[in-house]
Amino acid sequence: MALPIVVDVSFESPRGSQTPSVGADRDELTRALVDACSTAAGSGGCQIGPEGPAPARARVAVSFGPGDAGVRVVVVAPPASGAAPSARSALSADSRDVTFRDDDPLVERYRAAGLVVAGVVADLDGLDAAHAAPGEAISSDARGGVFLRIGGRAGADDSRPWAGAELGADVVVAGHAFVSLSGSHDQTWARDGRGISEQRTAFGVGVGWRMPIVPDRLAVRVRVEIALDEIRATVHQPSTGREDAGDRALPGLGAGAELACPLVGVVGVFAGGRLAWWGSDTTVRIQGQPADIIRAWDATAVVGVDVHLP
């Protein structure tokens, strides 16, 4: 359920002749302020607040000057903070001062004050990231839950191109930190002149970190993993029709970095790269003779989509 903006209205003395002293006129004008604020604020609306702290989107003090010639709007408890009004002094981004013309009707002054309340809170919803500590900007990437990843991969090994796919999950554990799980499979696009093709399958687990660049729009994700890799080579000799295959399982290390961007709803896109290293080269032999070497590392480009599961 959306929380309301809580408004505290006060009046300075002495009051001008146009300003109602007490009673129905003042109540009617205050209702005009709240109605205008609610219309502009959207979900949750606005309401005149009870004494003391209360659950609220924000708490705002509205002070009319003598004769209602002007109004000062101050956010005394910032959005979603739940803090008491005395817990935070006003900053320039938290306040607005408006001066009315002498011919402005009273009801329009109060409606204008309501619009100012909604506007200053909306501004703070976007500016809170700038007030946060470095590295703690508010971002969609700071949400908890699980981000499922699926992507396409491509690279080259000694000028032989290969392609594949990866599937993974980033499980947010605290703030921007996450546990990374991944699986991938790659293979060369075609056999070389000796009839050799390669396949690589890897499963990894590790840790990662999300760093927002533009809150809710763009973030960097980095990860480091330990992995179990299976490297497989198959040989098909066209002249004889003979086929053979061999594989080798190795522990390895992996690292990756990518740019991630929310797209629509819980779906986002990402692009980046991966590095993998599994300790030693693998020699492919044909009839006992070395025919090829699969290097102990590779670099991969990857693009894909991710889905956020709360």
Q: Residue 295: which CATH number?
A: 2.40.160.20
Which residues lie below 8 Å from residue 7, measured CB to CB, with a gap of 6+?
33, 34, 37, 46, 47, 48, 49, 59, 60, 62, 117
- Its domain, for residue 213, covers 140-309
CA distance 123 to 187: 51
Closest CA relative to residue 30, chosen from 135, 107, 98, 134 = 107
Residues 118, 45: one domain?
yes
Looking at the fold, whether 201 and 252 belong to one and the same domain comes out as yes
The burial of 161, by beta-carbon neighbours within 10 Å (0-12 exposed, 13-18 middle, 19 or more buried), is given as: exposed
- Its pTM surpasses 0.75: no
Residue 201 shares a structural domain with residue 263: yes
Considering only CA atoms, which of 90, 9, 76 is closest in space to residue 49?
9
Per-residue pLDDT of the chain (310 residues; tens, 9 = 90+): 678 999 999 987 654 444 444 445 888 999 999 999 999 988 888 999 776 667 888 899 999 998 889 999 999 876 554 443 333 333 345 789 999 998 999 999 999 999 999 988 888 776 544 444 444 433 454 457 899 999 999 988 766 788 999 999 999 998 889 999 999 999 988 777 677 888 999 999 999 999 989 877 899 999 999 999 998 888 887 766 677 778 889 899 999 999 999 988 889 999 999 999 988 888 887 767 777 778 888 899 999 999 998 7
In the chain, the N- to C-terminal Cα span, in Å, equals 17
Degrees to nearest 5, angle at CA 236 with 233 and 237: 135
Residues 52 and 192 in one domain: no
Q: Are 155 and 285 in the same domain?
A: yes
Question: Tell me, what DSSP letter sits at residue 239?
Answer: T
The token duo for 80 is: 């979603």
One domain, residues 166 and 201: yes
User: Same structural domain for residues 34 and 59?
Assistant: yes
Among residues 79, 60, 61, 77, the alpha carbon closest in space to that of 2 is found at: 79
The single-letter code of the amino acid at 168 is: G
* 165 and 100 within one domain: no
Shared domain for 101 and 196, answered yes or no, is no
Last residue of a domain, one of 131, 153, 176: 131
Do residues 9 and 50 both lie within one domain? yes
Amino acid at 185: H
- Work out how many domains the chain is built from and give that number: 2
Q: Cα dist. 260→42, 107, 169, 267 in Å?
A: 30, 48, 14, 11
Length of the chain: 310
Amino acid at 68: D
CB 179 within 8 A of CB 207: yes
Separation CA 96–CA 110 (nearest Å):
14
In this structure, the answer to whether residues 147 and 263 fall within a common structural domain is yes
- The alpha helices in the chain, defined as continuous H runs, are 24-41, 106-131
- Give the separation between CA 179 and CA 146, rounded to whole angstroms: 10
